[in-house]
Amino acid sequence: MSFVGFWIPVTAYPARVALVITALLALITQQHQSAEVNVSYVIALNVWMIICIAFVFFALIEYAIAIAYCESFYRLITTDDQHQHHSRVCHQSYRTIP
């Protein structure tokens, strides 16, 4: 579910953040519910859930990096009109901005 967010444009902040946060909260809830099995050792389910939570959290971090990159790239484009090297992802996302 969280990897569907990579198909959403970078400029769609609410959609991407809501999707990743929903996936993260769902995984944390499942982790909490699976903790009802009280054993003194780590079971495979715990390892699996921790890895899934880490991947979703890293997707959120990646999105923050993508926002920072596109914002700095947009500033570079607007300050330097002769700059011809446009990033395809950021350029398509900022096409409608005047």
Cβ neighbours of residue 3 closer than 8 Å, sequence gap 6 or more: 59
pLDDT at 81: 52
- State residue 1's pLDDT score: 61
One pLDDT digit (tens) per residue for the chain, 98 residues: 666 777 888 888 888 888 888 988 999 898 888 777 778 888 888 888 889 989 988 988 988 898 888 888 777 777 655 444 554 555 555 544 44
pLDDT at 82: 45
Whole-model pTM above 0.85?
no
